[in-house]
Structure 1
Amino acid sequence: MLYIWRYALTLPSHSSVTSKKSLIILALTYWLYFGQLGVLVPYLGIFLDGRGFSSQDIGELFAVITLARILGPGLWAGVADKTGNAVGIMRLGCLLTVLTFSSVFYFSSFWGLTFAFGLMMMFWTAVLPQLEVITMNAVSTSTANYGQIRLWGSIGFICLTVTAGKALDIFSTETPVYVSVGVLSLLFISTLFITAPAKKSKTESEPGSIWRFVKQKPFAIFIFASACLQISFGAFYGFFALYMRDLGYSGQQTGVFIAFGVLAEVGIFLVARHLISRFGVWNLLFASITLTALRWYLLADFAQHISVIVFSQVIHALSFGLTHAVSVHFIHQYLPAAFHSRGQAVYISIAFGLGGASGNYLAGQQWSQGTNAYETFVTAAVFAAVGALSLFLCSKKVMDGKAPQQA
C-alpha cells in the first residue's frame, strides 16, 4: 500500500494546458465515481435487508455513515487548498476507500458494518470536492464546459444501476458490494492519469477563514436550502428500491426507473450552463427544489402507477442534476479561488453530510418495514418545500452575483 501511494504521488499532477486526453480522463473518473453511487445508493438497503437488518437499523446505519461526510470534506479540502495538491489528495482518498470498503466482507454485525462503511465514507469524501475543483479549472482553459464533463457521471450511474439491478435478479443480495469493489479499484486507477492546471502562485492566496464567507446571508441560505433538499432525499436513497420491491416491481424495473431519472439528468447537464446564464441561480434553485417536493408527494400517493414513477424520475433531472450544477457554479462564482475546495467541502459536509444523515435517520424511524411509506415521503415533501421557501430570505441579485456581497 505504501509503495502504491508513493508511486501515485510521483505521477504528474499539473499541466499548463488542458488537453483533450485530460478531459477524457476526467469524464471517465466521473463515470466511475457516480457509477459507484449507482451501485451502492439504490441497493445498499437491499444488501442490508439481505443481511437481516430491520428498516430502523438500515436508517440508523445510513445516518451514522453519512455523518462521516460532515468532518471528512473539510479536513481533506483544507489540506488540498493549503498544499495545492488536489490530485494527490484525490488519489489517496480513492486508494483508502477501496481498501476500507473491502472490509465489509469480514463484518456482519451492525456496528462492524457501520465502522466499515463509515471509514470508507470518510475517505470517499476526499474525492468529489477535489474532482469538482480540478474540472472547473480544467474547463476554464478549454472549449468544453463543466456540464459536458459531468454528464458522464450520470451515464456511469445509469449503466451500473441497470446492470446491478439485473444482477440482483440473478445473484444474491451481496452483489452490490462485489461490484462496488471492482468499480472503486478502477476509480483509483483512473485518478493516476489525471493532471490538473498549474498551482496558483502564493500571491493569489486568500488569507482568513472560509467561515467568513459561509456566515454571509446568501451563502448561509444557499446551504440551508441545500440541506433541506438532502434531508428530503433520505426516503428515496434509503428505501426507494425496497419500496419498489414491496409494490411488486422487479430489481431490473427498479434499476430502469432509477436509470431513467439519471438519463434525464444527462440532458440537463448539456444545457445547464445556458439555463444558469438565462435564469440565474435563485430561480433555478427555487424551481428545482419546489418540483422536488412535488416529486416526493407523487411517490407517496401514486407510486402504484408506472407513469407516475416515470414522471417523478424525470423530475430527478432537476432535483439532483440541475441543483448540483447550479450549486457548483454558485460556489465557484461566490468564493475566491483559494477557497473553492473548502467551499465545496462546506457544501458537501453540511448539505449532504448533516442534511443527508438527518434525512436517513428520520426516514428509517418512519418507514416501519414499509407500512409508513406514505408518511415518510410526505415528510420528505415538506422538507423540500421548506428549503424552497427559505430562498425568499435572500436577494435574487446577490445570489446571482449581480449585486455586491453582504458582509
Structure 2
Amino acid sequence: MPFNVLPSSKTNLILLGLTYFFYYGQLGVLVPYIGVFLDGRGYSSEQIGQILAYITVARIIGPNIWSVLANYCKPGLFIMRLGAILGFICTFLAYYFYGFWAVTLALGLMMMFWTAILPQLEVVAMDCCQGNAQGYANLRMWGSIGFIVLSIILGALLDVTSTEVILYAMTLVLFALFVMTCLITAPEHPIEHTDQSAHNKAQWQLARSTPFVLFILSALLLQFSFGPFYTFFALYTEDLGYTGTQTGWLIALAVIAEIGMFVVAGRLLQRYSLNSMLIISMMLTALRWYLLAYWAESAVLVVISQLLHAFSFGLTHCASISFIHRYFAKSFQAQGQAIYVSVAFGIGGAAGSYLSGVYWDQGAGAQFTFSLSMGIALLAGAILLFAKHPLLQSPAK
C-alpha cells in the first residue's frame, strides 16, 4: 500500500469518498450520455437500446464472477484495482472500431470489469463505517457529487465539441478510479475456521427465501422502469428543445436531490421500516415517469420529476444496501451485493434498455414508453407488500 492508513481513519474515509466520487462519476458519463455518444456514431434508437441491453448483461455476469474471485483475494481490494485498470484499457477499443459489434464488445468488456468494483466497495465502506447507515450515506453522497460534476461538465462540453468527448471522459475517469482504489485500506477480518461449504449453503438458502426473492424481484422491476430514462433522457430533452448545458443541469438536479436524501436517509431508515420506505419510494418513482410521459413540455414539472430521484434512487438504494448488509453473514456480503447488482441493475437494466429501444421509435414512442415504466414501478412497490421479513418490517439499527 502506498499509504498505511487505518480503515476507519479520516484519511481512509476521504479516500473512500473519492473512490465513490469517481465510480459514480463514471456513471454520470454513462447513464445520461451513452445514448448521445451512440447517436453521434449514427446508430438508430433500436440499435442504441440493443447495445445498452447487451452491455448491461455484463452487470449480470460480472459481479457474480468477481465476488467469487474476491473470496480468494480478501478483502477484495485486488479485485477492485484489477477491474478499474482493465476497464480503463478496454475503452481504447472504441477509439479505433466503429462497427456495431465492435463498439458493443468494447463497452461490454469495460462494463464487465467496472462491475468488479461496486460490490467490494460497498462491503469495505460498510465495514469502515462499522455498519452505521448514516455513516454509509455520508460516504455514498460523494458518489452523487461525482455524478453531478461529470454530468454538468459533459453537458457543457457537448455544446461546444463532438460527442466523442464522452468516450474521452470514460477513459480519464476510469484511470482516476484506479488510482483511488490503490490508495484505500480495508479492515482485516480473522479467518473463520468453520465448515465454509455448509456456511455458504445456509447463506444461499437465505438468498432463495421468499422474502429475499420478492425483494430482488421488486428491485429488478424498479431498475427495469428506469430503462427509457437511462437510455434516452438526454435525447428526449434535446427533442424538447433543451440545450446540452440545460440537460446537464437537469441531470445534476436529480443527483443534488439524491444527495439531500443521503443526508437524512440514515435517520429515516432508523425511524421507519425499510419496507415502507421502499414502497413509498416506488410509488413516487411511478409519479416521476407519469410526469415525463404526459407533462414533459413543462420545464417546472420536469424539474419536479428530477427531484423525485431522491426517492426513486437515493432512498431505495440506502434501504436496500442496509437490508443486504444485515441479512447476510459478513463472509457472504460481497455475494449478497453481487446478487443485488447483477439481478436488479443487470437483468432489470438490460431488459429496460432493450424494451425502451423497441418502443422509443426515435422519440415518437416516448409517451408510451414512460407510461409502461410507470406501471412497472407501481408493480415493483406492490410486490413488496408481500415481502414479510423482520428486517424489512423494522427500521435499520
Q: Which residue of structure 1 lines up, in the alignment, with residue 97 of structure 2?
A: 107
Residues of 2 paired with 1:21 and 1:104: CA distance?
Answer: 36
Q: How does 1:151-300 map to 2 (within 5 A)?
A: 151-203=141-193, 207-209=199-201, 210-300=203-293
Q: How does 1:6-45 map to 2 (within 5 A)?
A: 11=1, 17-45=7-35
Q: From the superposition, tell whether residues 150 and 175 of structure 1 become closer, same or farther in structure 2 (CA, over 3 Å).
A: same
Q: Which residue of structure 2 lines up, in the alignment, with residue 393 of structure 1?
A: 386
Aligned residues: 392
Instruction: Find the residue that maps to 2:91 and give its secondary structure.
Output: helix
Residues of 2 paired with 1:15 and 1:203: CA distance?
Answer: 28
Q: Which residue of structure 2 lines up, in the alignment, with residue 341 of structure 1?
A: 334
Greater shift in the superposed pair: 284-293 or 76-85: 76-85
Residues of 1 paired with 2:373 and 2:3: CA distance?
Answer: 42
Instruction: Check if 1:86 corresponds to 2:76.
Output: yes
Residues of 1 paired with 2:132 and 2:345: CA distance?
Answer: 30
Unaligned stretches of 5+ residues in structure 2 = none
Shift of 1:15: 6.5
Residues of 2 paired with 1:185 and 1:19: CA distance?
Answer: 25
Residues of 1 paired with 2:211 and 2:149: CA distance?
Answer: 37
| Residues 181-226 of structure 1, C-alpha deviations (whole Å, 9 max, x = no match) | 1111111011110100013322378522443111111111110000
Instruction: Find the residue that maps to 1:202 and give its secondary structure.
Output: coil
Shift of 1:87: 0.7
Contact 2:211 2:389 in 1 (8 A): no
Q: From the superposition, tell whether residues 139 and 284 of structure 1 become closer, same or farther in structure 2 (CA, over 3 Å).
A: same
Contact 2:23 2:143 in 1 (8 A): yes
Greater shift in the superposed pair: 51-60 or 199-208: 199-208
Residues of 1 paired with 2:182 and 2:195: CA distance?
Answer: 27
Shift of 1:271: 1.2
Greater shift in the superposed pair: 193-202 or 160-169: 193-202
| Residues 294-343 of structure 1, C-alpha deviations (whole Å, 9 max, x = no match) | 10011000011111011001100111111111111000011111110000
| Residues 42-69 of structure 1, C-alpha deviations (whole Å, 9 max, x = no match) | 0111110110000000000000000011
Unaligned stretches of 5+ residues in structure 1 = 1-10, 403-407
Residues of 2 paired with 1:200 and 1:283: CA distance?
Answer: 36
Q: Which residue of structure 2 lines up, in the alignment, with residue 70 of structure 1?
A: 60
TM-score for both structures, normalised by structure 2: 0.95
Q: Which residue of structure 2 lines up, in the alignment, with residue 7 of structure 1?
A: none
Q: From the superposition, tell whether residues 334 and 142 of structure 1 become closer, same or farther in structure 2 (CA, over 3 Å).
A: closer
Greater shift in the superposed pair: 131-140 or 83-92: 83-92
Residues of 2 paired with 1:170 and 1:333: CA distance?
Answer: 48
Shift of 1:175: 1.1
Shift of 1:272: 1.1
Q: Which residue of structure 2 lines up, in the alignment, with residue 8 of structure 1?
A: none
- In the TM superposition, structure 1's runs of 4+ consecutive aligned residues that sit over 3 Å from their partners are 12-17, 141-144, 203-206
Contact 1:238 1:360 in 2 (8 A): yes
| Residues 3-39 of structure 1, C-alpha deviations (whole Å, 9 max, x = no match) | xxxxxxxx37996652110000000010111111111
Q: Which residue of structure 2 lines up, in the alignment, with residue 378 of structure 1?
A: 371
Residues of 1 paired with 2:132 and 2:76: CA distance?
Answer: 20
